[in-house]
Amino acid sequence: MPTKNKREWFETCLGQYLLEREQNYFDKAVADVFGYNAMQIGFPQYDFLRANRMPLQFCAGTEDGAAVLAAPDFLPIETNSIDLVLLPHILEFSSNPHQILREVQRVLMPEGHVIVSGFNPRSLWGVRGLFGLPEDTFPWRGNFIALPRLKDWLTLLDFEITRDRLCCYAPPFSQEKWLKRFTFMEAAGDRWWRFSGGVYFVTAVKRVHGMRVIKPEWKEVRARRRSMAPVAQKIKDAAQQNEPRRAARTKAEEGKN
């Protein structure tokens, strides 16, 4: 599908409805992820990393505006070098989503984070794509991936799922007045029909088997030193008190000799 169609769709009221909720989620999700290097794959016109504080942030993809022009399934990135990767709606529009996840697993450092957003096929958004829409219409032309299936893929790649969330519970109306009438569904969605959100987010951490994270023990060392200080002082005081006795004993022994 031409990139132009994608950009035009995000300028519609439905696209803005989705974009607002995705940006809010990413802002909260990336704020507390720390490290040095963060990478967003795709959608260079939107800065989903803006709330993150890592010194190096960049976007990789095949679209104009990407800092690194590269296919997401073959990234020219060093292995174990990235602390955070964002995948906003990349997998469902790729012919090889497994390879993209393998590349993400490769470039991520141990304990690195990946955050994926995708369209939920088990929702009103997923159903709409079945009603005779043009094949090149974004986003309905995508191969939507079910949330449990995506979790299985990540688990097989030694990722640990740490968080998932859904949003966009209102039906995907193309007219703004109808979207506003159904905004009540957004507020109640997480409570009453959590798994029917049109969009999901998954956060996962790369785990490496057999690796033990070594944490600094400065606090423990300081605590041991503090606990030993009174004991050392007592020993020093006792030695000072016994010094006259040892001196007198030494003189007595010398007198006998």
For 149-168, the pLDDT digits (tens) are 999 999 999 999 999 999 98
pLDDT 10s digits, 7-29: 888 889 899 999 999 999 999 99
Reported as a pLDDT band with limits 50, 70 and 90, residue 1 is very low
User: Ranked by mean pLDDT, which of 13-22, 77-86, 128-137, 228-237 comes out on top?
Assistant: 77-86
Question: What confidence score (pLDDT) does residue 9 get?
Answer: 86
- Lowest pLDDT segment from 20-29, 48-57, 92-101, 203-212: 203-212
pTM (two decimals): 0.76
Q: Where are the domains of the chain?
A: 3-206, 216-257
Domain 3-206 has CATH 3.40.50.150: yes
What contacts 24+ positions apart, CB below 8 Å, involve 144-151? Answer: 144/92, 144/118, 144/119, 144/120, 145/91, 145/92, 145/97, 145/118, 145/121, 146/120, 146/121, 146/122, 147/118, 147/120, 147/122, 147/195, 147/200, 147/202, 150/91, 150/116, 150/118, 150/202, 151/202
Secondary structure (DSSP) of 88-149: ES-GGG-S-HHHHHHHHHHHEEEEEEEEEEEE-SSSHHHHHTTSS--TT-TTTTS----HHH
Give the length of the chain: 257
Q: Which residue has the higher pLDDT, 72 or 257?
A: 72
